[in-house]
Amino acid sequence: MPNTDKIHIDAALVRRLVAVQFPQWADLPVKPVEFGGWDNRTFHLGEQMTVRLPSAEEYVSSVEKEHCWLPKLAPLLPLPIPVPLAMGKPAQGYPWHWSIYKWLDGETVSIERIADLWQFATALAEFLVALQRIDSTGGPHNFSRCGGPLLIYDAEIRQSLAILADAIDVAAVTAVWDKALESSWQGFPVWFHGDVAVGNLLVENGALSAVIDFGCSGVGDPACDLVIAWTLFKGESRDVFRAALPLDSATWARGRGWALWKALIVCAALPGTNSLEIEKSWRVIDEVLADYKREG
């Protein structure tokens, strides 16, 4: 879990930072966003902007990356993405750069808020296809988190299996993981979002309306963007999502590996995971194993 014990991030801090560095917005009200994210603390600034402050040093690099790349990606994508308006500097006891963004309308996605799950799956796939087609020359790498070889997480998988040995089908999980490790991305690096999760997808009137939080984005293997196939979709909606993405079976096997790793380390309560997600993670593991068995 990010350690913010010595860095108290609250609305009062945000007000001070804005007042000193962006006095034109000093009179706007500041209040926390209901779901502020894990890597950043997010606040409303008036009605048209948000302020995002990295919650730990490991997330700071995403600030400059988003300010550099999001304006270049946005015109080439079929859905709105965050619009950086200003970059703040360390001050007032806060040690890192931070950002102000344009507010994007919509609610975070849930099954209940989606009018047509097949249409939603298609729209998300079309967004990812458009992202992958953007020229990746000079794009950032983020291999310590996404877009690189899954092998970097092998030790965590083995550790998790040892912890959960009495509660999980070790042989089945190992088979899925070994299959994921058999291949690597052989094409030219492509753009990936890095965290295509329900908290980073917005809906309006039941339809996908925006994709947010590109802090994990970069260029490399797009398999990491397939995790939502097992965290949100299932059955026919997963098939629709898969059919709309021009990716081979090996990439899908790595995508299953990404989903398995993320869920497994949460269930094993490894450091840096969110214990509130354990129940959901067990369901994801069940979906991954069933899908692997079905593909057989």
pTM equals 0.93
- Which residues in the chain are classed under CATH 3.30.200.20? 11-104
Q: Is the dihedral of CA 133, 138, 144, 148 positive or negative?
A: positive
Structure tokens that stand for 97 in this block: 């750069």
State pLDDT tens for residues 171-183.
999 999 999 999 9
* Confidence band of 140 (pLDDT split at 50, 70, 90): very high
State pLDDT tens for residues 87-132.
999 999 999 999 999 999 999 999 999 999 999 999 999 999 999 9
Q: Is the pLDDT of residue 4 over 50?
A: no
Q: Is the pLDDT of residue 134 over 60?
A: yes
State pLDDT tens for residues 75-85.
999 999 999 99
Using CA atoms, how far residue 219 sits from 19, 71, 131, 185, in Å, is: 36, 16, 10, 11
Q: Is the pLDDT of residue 3 over 60?
A: no
* 188-214 CB burial, b ≥16 within 10 A, e <16: ebbbbbbbbbbebbbbeeebbbbbbbb
CB 96 within 8 A of CB 54: yes
State pLDDT tens for residues 33-49.
977 666 899 999 999 99
According to CATH, what is the number of the domain 11-104? 3.30.200.20
State pLDDT tens for residues 148-191.
999 999 999 999 999 999 999 999 999 999 999 999 999 999 99
**Mean pLDDT estimate for the chain:** 94
Instruction: Quote the pLDDT of residue 36.
Output: 63
- Residue closest to 164 by CA, chosen among 265, 238, 71, 243: 265
Per DSSP, 91 falls in state B
Instruction: Quote the pLDDT of residue 272.
Output: 81
Q: Is the pLDDT of residue 213 over 60?
A: yes
CB 231 within 8 A of CB 282: no
Q: Tell which CATH architecture fits domain 108-295.
A: Alpha-Beta Complex (3.90)
Instruction: Quote the pLDDT of residue 6.
Output: 62
CB 180 within 8 A of CB 227: no
C-alpha angle 3-6-9 in degrees, rounded to nearest 5: 85
- Which residues in the chain are classed under CATH 3.90.1200.10? 108-295
CB 98 within 8 A of CB 62: no
Residue tagged 């194993």 (tokens): 289
Q: Is the dihedral of CA 247, 253, 254, 257 positive or negative?
A: positive
Collapsing DSSP to helix, strand or coil, 44 comes out as: strand
Residue 151 makes CB contacts below 8 A (sequence gap 6+) with: 181
Spatial separation of the C-alpha atoms in residues 123 and 26, rounded to whole Å: 38
Q: In what order do the strands lie in the sheet with 84-88?
A: 30-32, 40-45, 49-54, 98-102, 84-88
Give the CA dihedral 147, 148, 151, 157, nearest 10 degrees: -20
Mean pLDDT value of segment 224-253: 97
Q: What percentage of the chain has pLDDT greater than the value 90?
A: 89
Residue 290 makes CB contacts below 8 A (sequence gap 6+) with: none
Q: Is the pLDDT of residue 2 over 50?
A: no
Q: Is the dihedral of CA 17, 22, 25, 27 positive or negative?
A: positive
Q: Is the pLDDT of residue 196 over 60?
A: yes
Q: Which helix (H) or strand (E) holds 18?
A: helix 11-21
**DSSP track, 106-119:** -EE--GGG-S-HHH
